[in-house]
Structures are given as structure tokens and as C-alpha cells.
Amino acid sequence: MRTLIQALSLLLFSTLFIFATYQLPDWLPADIYLRLDPLLGMNAVFAAREIIGRALWSLVTIGATLSIGRFFCAYVCPMGASIDFLDFLFFRKKKRLGLKTGTSLRRLKYFLLVIFIVAALTGFSLAFLMDPMSLLTRFYTFFIYPLVTTLINLLLDLLRPVFGALGWVALSHQHYFQSVYYMTAITLLIFGGIIFLNRLAPRFWCRYLCPLGAFLSFISPLGFFKRRVSQECNECLKCQKACPMGAVAEDPRGTRLPECIQCRTCAKVCPQKAITFPASVSLGGEYSQVDFSRRGFLYSLAGGLGVGFLAMRTPFALKQSKHPLIRPPGAIPETEFLRTCIRCGECMKSCLTNTLQPTLWESGFAGLWTPKMDPRLAPCDQNCNVCGKVCPTQAIRSLSLEEKTHAKVGTAVLRKEMCLVWAQNKICLICDEICPYNAIVFRPVEGYRRPVVVASKCNGCGFCEQRCPVQGESAIVVVANGEIRLREGSYIKEAKKLELEFRPDAGDDKFILEESGFKVEDKEKRNILPAEKTQPKKPKGFL
């Protein structure tokens, strides 16, 4: 029964993950698991110092845990399900190295929780590092998703001749877009490490490390359902050995309530059928307290403050306007963005073009795994606004397409010394051709038609940078300059105020027919452009 619910939960998590992509229906909260996570919610709310609507969903989890107990870990948590499943696959028959159940390791998760909460209070979002929802979504995004795509495409390639022979045209040309990400290996190592810890003890992660589990165990002893052992108990200690959480005390009649996830494994293995989980309102008891020391608390308090302090010691932390990264459209101002983003990777998974990539150290510890645009790899498509839709903390705001178009992420800058047209007089127009907003125009300069960026029409989508045929680095690059980052309010209004216009209109290609694109008096023109006799009077391609 429990396994079934667990499997269904993991399936639901995976299905929602698949749905988090272009044209995600507005009514479908693909990020619901992340929203339900109270640790991520607290982390974002504390760090950003404001109430985040979607984070309020986590109150559901808190309420349920308060009334039922720490059931979340055993039934809902997809990370727990993954751990259980992989444990079954790899370590079922292995002899565990064994750890005494009463070890002080148990406290570790509480210390971590305190560190994360305190760090959040200093304005440093850190919980992402170990929060199970964030961790698993990241693992899915950076590892599972690209891997599955590869495998499916491989299968399609193998079957292509068969499909061709059968005349299944669409299938024989089927190919799924292969997303690629930086940091896939790191993400795999971390997840692999977590699984490998099961070699020491089952659910090692959940028992000793998971900060979400720590939070839930704080409030779980209040729940109605508690383990009760009847007189039938013959102290065979089978339950103690079987408990995946090490929640059965030295005396098997006792239960460490904060550790108990109500999986009922003990009841199943009990030969005397002495174990039940009745509803009860009793509180207290020697095992209901959270295993925590004052010294440990103080240490972790200091740890949290210290980490918060250290994380801000990067050259850019205090000068956020000078950060070099291109953030997704709708990303709130950089300081708030870093505080609110929980690094789940959902935006990068859902990104239609694969331009969103995780940040490594470019903006220090505080920017780890945050999404950035990599326009050389792919542009931001003007018909897609999914990254905001799936952001569980709205570090990227969910915007309408029209609003998103005006959420300027940067400005394209032409590097003339590399441009084929400027530097080599080649006939190249790819940036102009691909620009969705006609922000690149050709103007006659010193006898040649040269591409120029009209900054007020460029919203930084990056099509030009991606398509530039110059090898290696692009001759036209998007820089963060001119980005619009709003915590609230309309991007359209803001863009209007700044006299920006991102409209697919007819543009001013007529310039290429005029003698000069620059509106100067004839007299002055002669001074500015002395040798203009070779000025082409016709558009390129016409003789």
C-alpha cells in the first residue's frame, strides 16, 4: 500500500516534470511539489523578506504534518521514493556497514536546518543545496531528462529503417530535441553520493541529513497517528532492525516520534502483531523530543551566519547592477533574485530552446545553479514564457507573452572587429535576418552597408548571437546592459517609459536605399563621409 502510494507520487512528480515545457497550460501547476515544500517556502520568504504567494502552498504540508505526523517522507516525498527504489535495486542484499541508531549523526539534519534558516535570514538562499525537492528536480533536469531524450532518440534511430519500411513517415523522421546542460556531472555525483550513503544505513539521507525531514520532524510529534506497541511484544527487536528510520528506541516499545515516518514497516515485520498506529492525542513522553543540543544549536547558528557572511564576499554581491550574467526574462532584480531563487532547475528544464543554463561560479557561491541565458547556445523564443510559469518562488515572474517580450534581458552589441561584414566586407546578414524585432538594420557607412544594432528595439533575445556564423565567440553578443528587472508592475509600461519598442514592425530597411542612413545636411555629409562615390544605391543582391 505504502509502496504503491510512493510509486504514484513519484510518477506524478515525473509526469508534472515532463509537462513543464513550452505550452504548459496555465491551470497546471507543474511546480506543485516544489511549492508544497515548506523548507523551500521558508527559505525564499525569509531570504526575500516578503510573502511569496506560491510558497503559501507549503502550509498544506505543514498542516497535514501537524495533524497526521511525518508521513510526508514515507508517502509523498519523491526523493524518499527514489531512495527506497534505488536502495531496493542496489543494496537490498548487501550487508550494511551499520551505524548505531542512537548516534549523534541524527542531530546533523537539525543543525543543517538551522544553518539554512539562519542563512536565509541573512539574505542568503542556501537550502537548495540539500532540500530534497530542489535536489531531485535538479537531478531530473540535468541528468535524467537529457539521458532519457538520448535513449529515446537512440531507439528511434535504431528503429528508423523499420519505420521507413513500414511507411510510417512521421515516426521515421521523429527526433526529440536534445537538451544539454552544464553541471550534469556534478549533479549526478551529488545524487549518486546520496544514494551511496544507503550502503551505511537505509535512508541514510532521510535519517541524518535531510533538512526538510528535520523541519517536519520538529512538528510531527503533534500528529494524531502514533506507533503503539501492545503487551504482546516479546522484545524480539525485529522492528528495531527493520525500521528504515531507526525510529524504534532501545526498548522496542518506545518510539522516537520525530523520526517515525509512519511507514508501518515495523507493524508488518512484527511476529506478534503487537504494533498498531491508532489515532491518539497523547503528547510528550521521553522520545517525543527532538534530539538536539544547545551547543549544537549555537554552533549551527554561527554556521548559518558565517555562511551567509561568506557568501556575500564576492566582488559582485554588493554591486549587483554590475553582475555579468543574462538572466531569464522576468527575473526580479538581481539581489532579490538570488535570495528568492531555489535552484530547482525547473525553468531550465522547461526552457523551449535550452538557452537557460545553470550558473557555476560566475556570480560566486550565492549564484550557484541559478539560471542564466546562454545566447550562443540558444536564443530566448518570443513565443514562449514557460520559465516564469513554472518558477515555484516567482524569482522569475510568470508573465504574459506580451509582458515577457518587454522584459528586456540585455542588449546586443556588435563587435565590429569580428563581424564578417564590418571586418571583411563579406555579404552576411544572418543577424538581421533572424532578429524578430528588426533591431538590426543595415546602414551605409563609408561606402559599405554595415549592420548596426538599434538598442531601443533590442530586448536581448539572443537570436543574433546564436546565429552569428563567426566561429567561436559570436561577433554580436548580448550583454546585460539595459535589462529591465522589476519586482512588480508592468514591463510594458516600464519599456514605454524608457522609450523602448519591441514590436515586429516593418523596420527601417529603407535606409539601404538612401544615400546615407544618417540624417545630416548635404554639406555636413560631405565632411563626415568624404569618399562616398562608391555608395551603393541599390539593396544588396540587386545589380
Q: Which amino acid is at 235?
A: E
Given the complex with another protein, which of 175 and 313 has the nearer CB atom?
175
- What nine digits make up the cell of 311? 557568501
Contact set for another protein, span 460-479 (CB under 8 A): 467, 469-470
Q: Which stretch binds another protein (CB under 8 A): 65-73, 79-87, 367-375, 428-436?
A: 428-436
Closest contact distance (angstroms) between CB of 146 and another protein is: 16
Check: CB of residue 424 under 8 Å from CB of residue 386.
Answer: no
Contact set for another protein, span 78-117 (CB under 8 A): none
Closest contact distance (angstroms) between CB of 468 and another protein is: 9
Closest contact distance (angstroms) between CB of 330 and another protein is: 20
- Per-residue interface string for the shown chain with another protein, residues 7-46, x marking contact by CB under 8 A: ---------------x------------------------
Q: Is 539 in the site for another protein (CB under 8 A)?
A: yes
Closest contact distance (angstroms) between CB of 467 and another protein is: 8
Q: Is 427 in the site for another protein (CB under 8 A)?
A: yes
127 secondary structure, DSSP code: G
Q: What is the CA radius of gyration of the chain?
A: 29
The torsion angles phi and psi of 488, rounded to 5 degrees, stand at -155, 170
The alpha carbon of 156 is separated from its chain's Cα centroid by a whole number of angstroms, namely 29
Closest contact distance (angstroms) between CB of 437 and another protein is: 8
CB-hemisphere CA count at 13 Å for 537? 1
Q: Is 377 in the site for another protein (CB under 8 A)?
A: no
Strand partners, 331: 396
Given the complex with another protein, which of 222 and 429 has the nearer CB atom?
429
What span, in angstroms and rounded, lies between the C-alpha atoms of 336 and 4?
A: 40
Q: How many residues bind another protein, per CB under 8 A?
A: 42
Closest contact distance (angstroms) between CB of 399 and another protein is: 18
3-state secondary structure 259-304: HCCCCCHHHHHCCCCCEECCECCCCCCCCCCCCCCHHHHHHHHHHH
What span, in angstroms and rounded, lies between the C-alpha atoms of 157 and 368?
A: 36
255 secondary structure, DSSP code: B
Check: CB of residue 316 under 8 Å from CB of residue 322.
Answer: yes
Closest contact distance (angstroms) between CB of 220 and another protein is: 46
H or E segment to which residue 495 belongs: helix 491-497
Contact set for another protein, span 485-504 (CB under 8 A): 504
Given the complex with another protein, which of 360 and 513 has the nearer CB atom?
513
Given the complex with another protein, which of 173 and 322 has the nearer CB atom?
173
Check: CB of residue 426 under 8 Å from CB of residue 418.
Answer: no
- Per-residue interface string for the shown chain with another protein, residues 139-178, x marking contact by CB under 8 A: ------------------x---------x-xx--x-x-x-
Q: Which amino acid is at 403?
A: E
Check: CB of residue 19 under 8 Å from CB of residue 28.
Answer: yes
* Residues at the contact surface with another protein, assessed by CB under 8 A: 22, 157, 167, 169-170, 173, 175, 177, 352-353, 381, 383, 420, 426-430, 432-436, 438, 442, 467, 469-470, 504-507, 509-510, 512-513, 538-543
